[in-house]
């Protein structure tokens, strides 16, 4: 793990982005009580990918068409989950 100051990070961003891409853990220290982890993300890390947005739209369509199951008890939840 590499801990650097925010000034060092600003002056050498490319270097630290490259290190993060290579798997190095980079912590950017900002002041005495703030720190940030520099972590590369992939398409899978994004919360709302195109596929996820389509699933949300499909769920909304199903709800409008009243194509859903109402569950109101713990027993119904267990039955749905096969527990």
Rg of the Cα atoms in the chain: 22
Do 51 and 68 have their domain in common? yes
Domain extent for 19: 2-38
Do 34 and 52 have their domain in common? no
Do 31 and 60 have their domain in common? no
pLDDT at 69: 86
Do 21 and 50 have their domain in common? no
> Shortest CA distance to 41 belongs to which of 49, 29, 50?
49
The one-character DSSP state at 64 is H
Do 54 and 34 have their domain in common? no
d(CA 74, CA 46): 32
Domain count, the chain: 2
Per-residue model confidence as pLDDT tens digits over 23-82:
999 999 999 899 999 999 887 777 777 888 899 999 999 999 999 888 999 999 999 899
Do 29 and 8 have their domain in common? yes
């Amino acid at each position: 793990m590499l801990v650097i100051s925010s000034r060092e990070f600003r002056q050498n961003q490319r270097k630290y982005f490259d290190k993060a891409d290579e798997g190095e853990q980079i912590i950017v220290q900002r002041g005495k009580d703030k720190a940030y982890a520099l972590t590369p993300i992939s398409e899978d890390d994004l919360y709302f990918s195109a596929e996820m947005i389509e699933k949300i739209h499909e769920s909304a369509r199903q709800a409008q068409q009243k194509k859903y199951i109402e569950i109101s008890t713990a027993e119904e939840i267990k039955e749905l989950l096969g527990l």
